[in-house]
Structure 1
Amino acid sequence: MTTTGDAPLRQPLRVAAAQIEAVGGDLAGNAAAHAAAIAGAADLGASLVVFPELSLCGYDYPLLAVDVARCEVAPGDPALRTVGQACREHGVTAVVGGCARRADGWAIAAHVVGPDGAVAATYHKRHLDADERAVFVPGTTDTLVRVRGWRLGLGVCYDASFPEHARGLALAGADAYLVSGAFTVGDSDHRRSVYFPARALENTSYVVFANFAGANGGWRFAGHSAVYAPDGRPLADAGTTAGLAVADLDDARLRHQRDSQRMLADRAAPASAPAPVVVVP
């Protein structure tokens, strides 16, 4: 194994952003689509597969508003067992989405299913838009997982609108930002095209973004699931139809970018006082 300084370079991690079409409330059918995507990604050598927001139940807001319990996904449920079996068969880690029941309400969850088929970690979306706040409560903690030596921070859709979310994960040691999304055509797609290369560049981190293809819940989704390098350049893009965006996370490229663009190391300390208002005549 080659080295940089005294630290050995990690082996590349091949990742896939799975751009699936989902049917609102059809957990069994959507889980089968997950299993097929995991198998396809494994055939391409991927060890990690990221799925869109609420991927197992679909981002069907009218359904969520009237029957969120129908979209519950919890460890041991049939949908997660289907995903777990596929992960176990193919030696893959997957990030999948569903609604999580909490003591204080419902959360938008991203479950990390390991290659043993078990749920290893769960992240609850921290930033909710106005419609979501009518149904869900926000998460309060961030989540980092380690896969084959790579440290990966989790985000869900609107989280990526807040630069401090990805920055906090990068400062905590994340090499990549994994984002499950539900971005639609139009202005939402424009924001998608800005956020993810920006989050990669400003944090010198890889970004793996998974979005839906097709439509459900009255929305038409924009696709363009992608993997971005730590300089913000796209490494893979799934286009607008169902498919996979597959690329390698490469340690040499990550180290080179962090050595040459030192935003994480060179950031200023927080201001000691609020900025004064200066009136210019």
Structure 2
Amino acid sequence: MTHATPTPQHDPSAPDDPVVPLTVAAVQAEAVPGDVAGNAVTAARLVERAARAGARLVVLPELFLPAYHPPALRNDPVGTDVAADDRQVVADPRLDPLAAVARDHRVVVLVGAAVRHPDGRRTCSALVVDRSGRVSAGYAKQHLWGPDENELFTAGERGATLLVDGWRLGLGVCYDGCFPEHGRAAAVDGAHGYLCPSGYVVGSEHRRDLYYRARALDNTMYVVFANAVGGAAPWRFNGGAAVYDPEGRSLGRAGDHGEAVVVARLDPVELRRVRDAHRMLADRRADQGGTRLLFPG
């Protein structure tokens, strides 16, 4: 895993493009507020299900380990957080079932958590569980949504890229994906895909589906969108977990209700075909039109 500082330009024909397909899974599931240990067991079960279907990378929803439930996060910060050390390593025995499944099935996992850092910051983060079972705080959400998140968390300050079998995968969390610049920063830095653990509530279905299709097509990259489902209003979530191809087409999508694991294959040949046909990354102008003219009406 590397933390990415976007460069001004990226050549999409660079030789670091992937050469083998990668099978991924986007998960939607309901978490129990405040129950990190129990939710880790649920996550482990779903990761095993995805791995048995061939997935080598599994993405679970935003804040899945404590559940996206601001009252629980506010009332029990010690119980709902996991602690990262100064190397971003998370050593929490409650996550042992998830680490064991990742290790036993040789699968990489991305899962949402509330992370407490040595300097006292609390972030809405995506944990990376690697194939050895090591857990790291991989990425802290940069765009915090609404008063609850801004009260509970500190925004992240940098992007991150996950490297899996030659695939460069930019990391985002939910609201990050609403900003075209966030996905574009990952693509300009060389990402072939964009992973988004999320928590979209009932009533946001149109935006939920549009944002991530757009990020895929804008940047000719795969997008893996995981989402929470179920819960009680106002934190009742709408599922729709999906994998989108580099033209924004759905390779698999779950319904708006119920637990689901969506498995799809990221294909390097298709990535190259789309990027050869739709050259937005190569043709984009750094000056975005240069000096703008004002015409009186």
TM-score, normalisation: structure 2: 0.88
Partner of 1:47: 56
Partner of 1:96: 111
d(CA) in 2 for partners of 1:7, 1:173: 9
d(CA) in 2 for partners of 1:5, 1:199: 21
Partner of 2:164: 147
What pairs with 1:6-21 in structure 2 (closer than 5 Å)?
10-21=19-30
* Offset of residue 231 of structure 1: 0.5
Conserved 8 A contact 1:9-1:252: no
Query: Percent of aligned pairs with the same residue?
Result: 45
What pairs with 1:116-265 in structure 2 (closer than 5 Å)?
116-120=132-136, 122-131=138-147, 132-186=149-203, 188-216=204-232, 218-239=234-255, 240-265=257-282
* Offset of residue 125 of structure 1: 0.3
Residue identity opposite 1:235 in structure 2: L
Matched, 1:35 2:44: yes
- Distance change (3 Å), C-alpha of 1:271 and 1:85: same
Structure 2: segments with no counterpart, 5+ residues: 1-12, 84-89
Residue identity opposite 1:254 in structure 2: L
Aligned length: 276
Structure 1: segments with no counterpart, 5+ residues: none
RMSD across aligned C-alpha pairs, in angstroms? 2.1
- Distance change (3 Å), C-alpha of 1:216 and 1:33: farther
d(CA) in 2 for partners of 1:207, 1:129: 21
TM-score, normalisation: structure 1: 0.92
Residue identity opposite 1:114 in structure 2: D
Residue identity opposite 2:220 in structure 1: T
d(CA) in 2 for partners of 1:244, 1:259: 31
* Offset of residue 266 of structure 1: 0.7
Query: Which sits farther off after the overlay, 122-131 or 251-260?
Result: 122-131
Matched, 1:83 2:92: no
Conserved 8 A contact 2:115-2:137: no
